[in-house]
């Protein structure tokens, strides 16, 4: 089959063998549970692992290789293009160099391409193009939970062009992605520094002056251990469907992090967002006003600070005995956190706030780069802008 430039269904690209395979992860009983996770093993890729447009296997959950080998489908290899199609719709990334493979959840589809006819990075940019994303989001809303299966995905259309033109477009747009990736590496180093500082002071208890402080039952003198319910309120988020969102300046938070933007906010920032359904116990920080949806709790600005943001990340919220976990508020209130003395708390905040400020500047810069890239993509795809 000869491929001509223009809009073409993914199913036609399959017939022409430009796309060699499309497959998602295992459903039902074969789907690994949180209780199966291990520290070292095969990367188990979920939709939220693609939120930044890249896949870092080191940051994913892991399952034993022996368990992975017993699964029927979902084996994704280096170079595959990933696309989220359930719950979180339209995130995309390329599988980096991995050995032997990564395993996909049912939320994620892999596309394996024929490099002679279709560049994998070009396909990823087709998936990021706003027109494609709008069509995908619209189709996904036809079910009770956002979902678009593989059969429906085959009917989606992308802009096709010759392989040489594909590579030219990729070279042009990749300059944006390279800047975004570099900024992300910088902010990741900063975030790691803040986490190491927290761990050193409040997990290993090697805070300034610790040599002269007596520790009793895990709490240094002048500190306390309190139940979460004693120090904060977990407020319920409010539903905001994709179709009801008007793209704007305020981030929309789900349990996997930022899932979009809206023209209005629900809660004044700064605030802490806690995953309630899906990515249970995930902890996110929003400096600006935001909209937490109904899969999360939020902690108001009057009750939160950066210490609490890091402390909550060490709380075991998830129940590993259930396949589809959820966070019961009363159970969460019964968990405990260490509360340092006011002087140590002040010292920690003085150290970590400048780090966080640098992280937020890099995040803002990346948001602008992403917006500029995504504004260019439709015009590049349809030929309005030549490369």
Going residue by residue through the chain (387 aa), what tens digit of pLDDT does each one get? Answer: 678 888 999 999 999 999 999 998 877 666 787 778 888 899 999 888 887 888 988 888 899 998 988 888 889 999 999 999 987 788 999 999 998 999 998 889 999 999 999 999 999 999 999 889 888 888 887 766 778 889 999 999 999 999 999 999 999 999 999 999 999 999 999 999 999 999 999 999 999 999 999 999 999 999 999 999 999 999 999 999 877 888 888 999 998 888 888 999 999 999 999 999 878 899 999 999 999 999 999 999 999 999 999 999 999 887 654 555 688 999 999 999 999 999 999 999 999 999 999 999 999 999 899 889 988 988 888 877 777
Q: Do domains 6-160 and 224-339 have the same CATH topology?
A: yes
- What's the rounded Cα separation, in Å, for the pair 168 and 231? 56
CATH superfamily of 224-339: DNA methylase specificity domains (3.90.220.20)
Long-range contact set of residues 146-149: C-beta below 8 Å, sequence gap at least 24: 146/86, 146/87, 146/88, 146/89, 146/242, 147/85, 147/86, 147/87, 148/85, 148/86, 148/89, 149/85
Q: Which CATH superfamily is domain 6-160 in?
A: DNA methylase specificity domains (3.90.220.20)
Q: Is the peptide bond before 236 cis (omega within 30 degrees of 0)?
A: no
Domain coordinates of the chain in residue numbers?
6-160, 163-208+341-386, 224-339
**Bridging pattern class, strands 42-45 and 102-104:** parallel
Report CA dihedral (323, 329, 331, 337) to the nearest 10 degrees. 120
């Amino acid at each position: 089959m000869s491929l001509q430039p223009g809009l073409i269904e993914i199913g036609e690209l399959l017939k022409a063998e430009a796309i060699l395979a499309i497959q998602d992860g295992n459903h039902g009983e074969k789907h690994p549970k949180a209780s199966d996770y291990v520290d070292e093993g095969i990367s188990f890729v979920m939709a939220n692992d693609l939120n930044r447009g890249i896949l870092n296997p080191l940051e994913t959950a892991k399952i034993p290789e022996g368990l992975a080998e017993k699964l029927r489908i979902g084996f994704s290899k280096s170079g595959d293009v990933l696309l989220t199609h359930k719950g979180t719709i339209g995130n995309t990334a390329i599988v980096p160099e991995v050995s032997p493979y990564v395993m996909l959840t049912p939320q994620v589809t892999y596309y394996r391409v024929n490099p002679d006819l279709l560049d994998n990075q070009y396909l990823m940019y087709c998936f990021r193009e706003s027109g494609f994303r709008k069509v995908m989001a619209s189709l996904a809303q036809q079910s009770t939970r956002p979902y678009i299966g593989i059969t429906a995905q085959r009917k989606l259309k992308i802009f096709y062009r010759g392989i040489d033109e594909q590579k030219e477009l990729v070279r042009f747009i990749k300059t944006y992605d390279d800047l975004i990736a570099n900024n992300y590496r910088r902010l990741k180093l900063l975030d790691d520094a803040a986490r190491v500082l927290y761990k050193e002071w409040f997990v290993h208890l090697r805070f300034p002056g610790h040599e002269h402080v007596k520790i009793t039952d895990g709490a240094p003198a002048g500190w306390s251990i309190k139940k979460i319910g004693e120090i904060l309120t977990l407020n319920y988020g409010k539903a905001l469907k994709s179709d009801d969102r008007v793209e704007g300046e305020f981030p929309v938070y789900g349990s996997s992090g930022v899932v979009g933007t809206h023209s209005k906010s629900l809660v004044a920032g700064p605030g802490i967002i806690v995953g309630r359904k899906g990515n249970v116990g995930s902890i996110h920080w929003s400096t600006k006003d935001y909209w937490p949806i109904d899969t999360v709790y939020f902690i108001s600005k009057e009750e939160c600070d950066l210490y609490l943001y890091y402390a909550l990340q060490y709380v075991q919220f998830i129940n590993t005995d259930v396949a589809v976990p959820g966070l019961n508020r009363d159970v969460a209130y019964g968990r405990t956190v260490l509360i340092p003395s006011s002087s140590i708390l002040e010292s920690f905040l003085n150290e970590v706030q400048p780090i966080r400020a640098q992280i937020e500047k890099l995040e803002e810069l990346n948001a602008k780069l992403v917006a500029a890239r995504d504004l260019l993509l439709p015009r590049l795809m349809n030929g309005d802008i030549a490369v």
